[in-house]
Structure 1
Amino acid sequence: MKRKSTILFGIAVVGLAAIAVFTQKQVSEAPVDGLSFMGEPVTTDEIARGQEVYAANCASCHGASLGGQPDWKRRLDTGRMPAPPHDESGHTWHHADRDLFTITKLGVGGVVPGYESDMPAYEGVLTDEEIRAVLVFIKSTWPDRERAFQANVTANDQGGS
């Protein structure tokens, strides 16, 4: 009888653990309300992954807190612009998802041909999924007003701005 109770207890523990893992997976894979990327839903897992990729690849120029470089509106001695902030104080939220993706993947020249920038192209460095995750993370930090404005710009995008 004691062995049967031990086995039943073990099965119950394994069952509860499986439910906990399944529930956590459902929560982390659930779409985040009010946030999408190119019309597709975004998950909390994707935001967390984007934060990691941002920290490893973007924060050195754009700041750990997305604040950009000092005097980001004033040209450097090279004639190029400093890295702008990606928080609500910058202008990232003025651009459609497609343009943000293209700038990240191909560099600013991918959207503005001939424009010289210190922004590297991340094609071959980051996967498309990683670029999307970084942009999703950035968007997740914006206040509702900026997020709504950017969603409208994205909805009205006809292939570039």
Structure 2
Amino acid sequence: MKISETIQSAINQQIAHELNASYLYLAMSGWFDTTVYSGFSKWMLMQSNEERDHAMRFFNYLNDRNGTVELQAIDKPVTSFGNPLAAFKLALESEEKNTRSIHQLYDMANSEKDYATKHFLSWFLQEQVEEEKAAQDWVDRLEIAGEHVNALMRLDAQAGQRTGD
């Protein structure tokens, strides 16, 4: 069954949300590269790739449902973050915004009785729980570390140990 125009439009918007998030994480990775925090840079780069993968899931789903992918403009992200805590707080805000968008899309699919899209979105609902938790955990750790250089460097080293999730 062909996807409805409203769901198609919402999925195209979600692709843009995911690509904007990817672009933001890429900007964060680039900023961290200009600091001593190479581990945070790696973590953000991996997160950027993950968000792009999410966009591609939506892209492929829309094609599978005989919809039309209409790529939208990507916003220019912030490029300076001040410190690791500020960057991770912004990452958390981005994840929370993305969660709200996916919830709205799920509600739309529910009201249109688009069961295939609801099923497709169920993976994203769980994924966003994990994404928000990861960002919140980093915010919490960085708040505890404060301005203590040794603690920040340990956290950076920990972030640099991230492997393909």
More relative contact order, 1 or 2 (CA 8 Å, 6+ apart): 2
Please tell me the TM-score bracket, short chain as reference: under 0.3
- Greater Rg by CA: 1
TM-score by length of 2: 0.27
Larger helix fraction of residues: 2
Larger strand fraction of residues: 1
